[in-house]
Amino acid sequence: MSAISARRKRAIALLSLTSIILVTLDLQGSGSASVLRGTFGVFFRPIEGVTRVITRPVSNAWHGITHYNAVTKENDLLREKIAQQEGAAVAAAASVRLSQELLALNGLPTLAGINSVSAQVIGDSPSNYSQSVEINQGSDSGIKVGMPVMNAAGLVGKITKVFPRRSIVMLITDPEYALSVKVINNPEAASPIGDPEASASTSSTTTTTTTIPKPQATSNIPGFTPGTTTMPLTTVNVTVNVPSLTPTLTVPANGALPVRETGILEGRGSSRVPIVRFIDSAQRFGTILPGAPIVTSGGSLSLAPPDIVVGTVSKVTDRLGTAGPILEINLVADLTNLSFVRILLYQPITEQVKP
Amino acid sequence: MLVASVVLGLQTTLFNDLRPFGVMAQVMVLFAACAGVIYGAEIGAVAGLIVGLMYDCVLTTPLGLASLVLGATALVAGAFPYFVRESSWWNKAIAVAVASAFGEILFPVAQALVGLGGWVQWRVIGVALIVALLNLFLAPLLMPVVRWTLKESLVG
- B80-94 pLDDT, tens digit per residue, is 878 877 778 888 899
Buried b (16+ CB within 10 A) or exposed e, A146-166: ebbbbbeebbbbbbbbbbeeb
Give mean pLDDT, residues A63-86: 84
- C-alpha distance from A116 to closest chain B C-alpha (Å): 24
Measured in whole angstroms, the distance separating CA A249 from the mean position of its chain's CA atoms is 30
Q: Residues A175-199: pLDDT tens digits?
A: 889 888 988 876 554 444 334 443 3
- Which of A17, A18, A19, A131 to probe by mutation at the B interface, max B CB count within 10 Å? A19
Comparing B1 with B64, which gets the higher pLDDT?
Answer: B64
Residue in chain A lying closest to B127 (CA) = A128
Dmax over CA atoms of chain B, in Å, equals: 43
Of residues B58, B118, B127, nearest to A268 (C-beta): B118
CA dist., res. B90 & res. B102, Å (int): 18
Of residues A19, A33, A47, nearest to B49 (C-beta): A19
In terms of Cα–Cα distance, which of A220, A149, A189 is closest to A316?
Answer: A189
The per-residue pLDDT for B31 is 93
Q: Residues B19-28: pLDDT tens digits?
A: 888 888 889 9
The per-residue pLDDT for A216 is 43
Question: Cβ–Cβ of B53/A51 closer than 8 Å?
Answer: no
Q: Residues B48-59: pLDDT tens digits?
A: 999 999 998 888
CA trace torsion A61, A63, A68, A73 (10° rounding): -160
Residue extents of the structural domains in chain A: 1-85, 115-186+258-355, 191-256
Mean pLDDT across chain A, nearest whole number?
A: 75
The per-residue pLDDT for B156 is 54
Question: Cβ–Cβ of B42/A5 closer than 8 Å?
Answer: yes
Question: Cβ–Cβ of A168/B111 closer than 8 Å?
Answer: no
The pLDDT > 70 percentage for chain A reads 70
Is pLDDT above 80 for B97?
A: yes
B103 touching A, CB under 8 A?
A: no
Looking at the domain A115-186+258-355, which fold is it? Answer: Thrombin, subunit H (2.40.10)
Comparing A216 with B47, which gets the higher pLDDT?
Answer: B47
The per-residue pLDDT for B16 is 85
Of residues A129, A174, A267, nearest to B108 (C-beta): A129
The pLDDT > 70 percentage for chain B reads 97
B24 touching A, CB under 8 A?
A: yes
Q: Residues A75-132: pLDDT tens digits?
A: 888 888 887 777 677 677 777 777 777 777 776 666 667 888 999 898 888 788 888 8
Q: What pTM did the predictor assign?
A: 0.63
- Which of A128, A173, A277 to probe by mutation at the B interface, max B CB count within 10 Å? A128
